[in-house]
Amino acid sequence: MMETPRNQNHLAWESSPYLLQHAANPVDWYPWGEKAFQKAKRENKPIFLSIGYSTCHWCHVMAHESFEDEETAKLINEYFVPVKVDREERPDIDHIYMQFVTATTGHGGWPLTVFLTPDKKAFYGGTYYPPEPRWGTPGLKDVLTIIHQNWMKDPEQIIESSNSILQILKNRAEQTGPQALPLNMEVFSKAWQGYSAMYDVRYGGFGQSPKFPMGHNFSYLLRYWRKEQSKNVLDMVEFSLKKMGEGGVYDQLGGGFHRYATDQQWQIPHFEKMLYDQAILARVYIETYQITGDTFYEKIARGICDYVLRDLMSTEGGFYSAEDADSIDPVEYQSSGKRLQDHLKKKEGAFYVWSEEELRNNLNEKQFALAAQAYSIKSEGNAHSDPHGEFVGKNILFIDDEVPQETAQLDEIKHILFNLRQQRPRPHLDDKVLTDWNGLMISSLAYTGRVLNDSKYLSAAQKAADFIIQHLITEEGRLLHRYRDGEAGINGMLEDYAFFTNALLDLYEAILDEKYLILAVRLTTDMVNRFWDQERGGFYLTADDSEELVFRPKEAYDGAIPSGNSVAALVMVRLHHMTSDQQWQNRYEKLFKAFAGEITSRPGSYAQMLSAYDFATGAVNEVVFAAGKEQDNLEEMVSLLYKYYIPNKVVCFRPSEHDRVEQIVPMFPFIKEQEPLDEQITIYFCENHACQKPVTQLSDFKKLLETYSKEKKTK
C-alpha cells in the first residue's frame, strides 16, 4: 500500500481533479469508501460529507475560507470523519444527498454540505456555509460545534430522525409505477401554457434571474411548434436564442456558453463553461437554423462546436468536462513577470473581462470607437449588477443589438482581442472525460456536421465515439463512466448508457456506418438488463450490481441535463422504428406510464421526456438509403435530408455489399425489401412504415422533401 505523501490527506491518490484540489487541505479528507465508513463506526463519529466539482466557484470559496483554515480543519478532524465526493464522478451519491438537502431546506446547489450517521444516513445539511455567520447563513464553525454537541448529547435521537427522513426519500423514489391516468396529448398544451406563463417577453428565456440557458426546453418547443404550427411558439424560441447569443452569457470572442446569467438580461454570466451546456445548446441552435435559415443561429452553433474542438477536445478524441469560472487577473499576472505565483488570487471571469484602458491600448482609435459602441464599453465597467464587487472597472462583452454586427471591422477587432486573451492565464480545465457528457456532445456534433455538411464536426463526433468504445467499454462489454490520465473507472450509470447509445444512433444516421447501430442495440439491451425496474417500470440511476447506497435512486426530471429516463425513452422509440421489434415499444410505453403522474403535474420540468413522448405518439418518418453500385451522390442525398427540420425521423442504410446486408437485416428487417433500383442509390421515404414511391434522383428527392414540408405546415 502506497503511503500518503507528506502534507497531503487521503485524496492524494485519487483521479478526480476536484478531489486532488483538496489533497493538501489540513482537513483530513477521505474519498467515499469503506475506509472512511469503518473509521466513523469505530470512533462513533458523524461523517462530514462535502460534494462539489472542480470548476465550482463557491466550492473554491468555501475551500479557501474553511477547508484551508487550520482552526476549522481542526474542528472537522476532531469531531467528524470528513469525506469528499466529486459529484460529476458520482452523480448517484450526489443525487441522494441533494434530494435530502432540497427536501429539508427547500433549495440545493454546490458545494453540498451534509452530515451523515456512520451508516451514511443524512440528518443535517445545506450548501455553502461561510466561516462566520453571514447573509442570514450560520457560520460553519458554529454548525460544526453544535452538531458535535448534539451528537454527543443524544445520538439516538439523531439516528431516529435520519431513519425517518430516509424513509420519506425512499417512498418518493418508489412512487413510480403505472398511473391511473396515463399520459395523453393534453400534456403538450399544458406544458406550453406553463412555458408561456414563465416567459420573459422583454429579454427572452424563462423567469427573472438567475437565468439558465436550458436548451432542451427550447428543443421541445420547436417540436411543439412543428406539431401546432403556432408562430407564437417559434417567436418565443427565436427571441430567446437571439438574446442569449447576443448576451454576455455567450462568449463573444471564443464561442461557447457560460453556465448561466446572474441577471435578467443575459449580460452578466457566471463564467464557468460546462461541456453538457455546449452540447445541448449547439443542438437547439442548429435546429432553429434548419427551420428559419437565419445564419445567426448557424454562427452560434459553429461558435459552440469550434470552442469545444479547440479547448475541450483531448488529443485522443474525448471531450473534457469543463472550464472554471475563476482565473488569475491578467493585469496582476503581467506585473508579476508572467509568473503563476501562489499569491496571485483567482477571480471570477478574469480571463474574459476587459478594462477600457486595455481596449484603448490594444485597438486603434477607430477600432476602439466601434468596439465601445458594439459592446457598450464604459470606463467604470458595464456590469449593471455586481453584488460582490468583482467587476468594478471591467467590461463584459455583450452585444448592443442596435449596432450592426456583421462587419469586417468588427471581425478584425474580435480577432485582435481573441489573440490577446489567449496570452492570459487560462481558467482551470477539468480534464476528465465523462461518457454521458461525451454522448451529448457526440450527438450534437454528428447532427450539426450533417446539417452544415461539415466534415470537421462529423470527424470529431466519430473520433470521440471511437475513443469511448476503445477506452470506456470493458472486455466484458460493460460501459464505464470516467476516464482520466489513461485510466478508466466507475461502472456506467443510466445516463452513460442512455446518452452514449443515443449518440451512437445520431452518429449512425449521420455517417451510415452500421457498426454504431449494432453497438447501440447491444448497449440498450444491456441497459434494460441492468437498470430496468421490473416491478414499477422505468430505469434506476444505478445498475443492479452497483454499490449499495441508502436507497436506489430513480429520476425522470429534466434538470441542467436531460434525465437518463427521458433519453432512454427516446432511444427505445427510435429503435422500435428502426427494428420493428415490439419489445422496445412495450418497454417505452411502460416507462411513460411509470412517470405519467409527475410529468402531468409539472410537464414543463420534463422537456426531454415530452420530446420523446412526441416521437412516440406522432407520425415518424423512416428514411432508407439503399445503396447500389453507384454511390457517388450518397453524401449529397443524406445532407439534403438534413436541410429540413424533421425531428421525429429515423435514418437507415442498406449497404450494397451482400455480407453487410446479411449481417444487419436480421436486426433491422424493415430494410430487407428496400432494394436499390437500377443499381443506383434509392431513397425510400416512409411515414409509420408506409412508404412513398422510391426516388433515385437528387432533384426528385428535393421535390419530395419540399412537398412533405409544405404539407406539414398546412395541416
In the numeric block, the cell 432553429 is attached to 288
Q: Are residues 223 and 156 in the same domain?
A: no
Q: Are residues 27 and 138 in the same domain?
A: yes
Domain boundary among 391, 426, 461: 426
- Grid coordinates representing 192 are 406550453
- Inter-axis angle of helices 140-153 and 70-79, nearest 10: 20
Find the CATH number of the domain harbouring 657.
3.40.30
With respect to residue 581, please indicate whether it lies within any of the assigned structural domains. Answer: no
Rounded distance, CA 97 to CA 197, Å? 31
Find the CATH number of the domain harbouring 41.
3.40.30.10
With respect to residue 152, please indicate whether it lies within any of the assigned structural domains. Answer: yes
Q: Are residues 305 and 332 in the same domain?
A: no
In the numeric block, the cell 471591422 is attached to 409
DSSP 74-118: HHHHHH-EEEEEETTT-HHHHHHHHHHHHHHHS---SSEEEEE-T
Q: Are residues 168 and 242 in the same domain?
A: no
The ranges of the chain with pLDDT < 70 are 1-5, 176-181, 338, 340-343, 403-405, 713-715
With respect to residue 519, please indicate whether it lies within any of the assigned structural domains. Answer: no
Cβ(295)–Cβ(410) under 8 Å? no
CA angle 112, 18, 59 (to 5 degrees): 40
The DSSP secondary-structure symbol of 712 reads H
Rounded distance, CA 200 to CA 196, Å? 9
With respect to residue 600, please indicate whether it lies within any of the assigned structural domains. Answer: no
pLDDT value, residue 172: 77
- Inter-axis angle of helices 215-228 and 186-198, nearest 10: 130
Continuous segment of H or E residues that includes residue 644: none
The DSSP secondary-structure symbol of 432 reads E
With respect to residue 474, please indicate whether it lies within any of the assigned structural domains. Answer: no
Q: Are residues 77 and 223 in the same domain?
A: no
Q: Are residues 219 and 296 in the same domain?
A: yes
Alpha helices in 477-544 (DSSP H): 494-511, 514-531
pLDDT value, residue 177: 64
With respect to residue 446, please indicate whether it lies within any of the assigned structural domains. Answer: no
pLDDT value, residue 182: 75
Q: Domain total for the chain?
A: 4
Domain boundary among 153, 173, 193: 173
Q: Are residues 401 and 253 in the same domain?
A: no
Q: Are residues 282 and 388 in the same domain?
A: no
CA angle 693, 698, 699 (to 5 degrees): 85
Model pLDDT for residues 326-369, shown as the tens digit of each residue: 999 988 888 877 676 666 888 999 999 999 999 999 999 999 99
Q: Are residues 36 and 101 in the same domain?
A: yes
Rounded distance, CA 409 to CA 612, Å? 44
pLDDT value, residue 389: 82
Q: Are residues 56 and 157 in the same domain?
A: yes
> What are the Cα distances from residue 500, in Å, to 108, 279, 394, 445, 542?
28, 13, 41, 13, 16
Query: Which residues is 625 bridged to in the sheet?
Result: 653, 683
Q: Are residues 55 and 142 in the same domain?
A: yes
With respect to residue 464, please indicate whether it lies within any of the assigned structural domains. Answer: no
With respect to residue 507, please indicate whether it lies within any of the assigned structural domains. Answer: no
Count of CB atoms situated within 10 Å of the CB of 485: 7
Alpha helices in 106-185 (DSSP H): 140-153, 155-173
Cβ(445)–Cβ(464) under 8 Å? yes
Q: Are residues 349 and 259 in the same domain?
A: no
Rounded distance, CA 693 to CA 258, Å? 47
Using DSSP, state whether 270 is helix, strand or coil: strand
pLDDT value, residue 658: 85
Domain boundary among 252, 285, 312: 312
> How does strand 269-270 pair with strand 273-274?
unpaired
What domain range is 50 assigned to?
17-173
- Grid coordinates representing 54 are 472542480
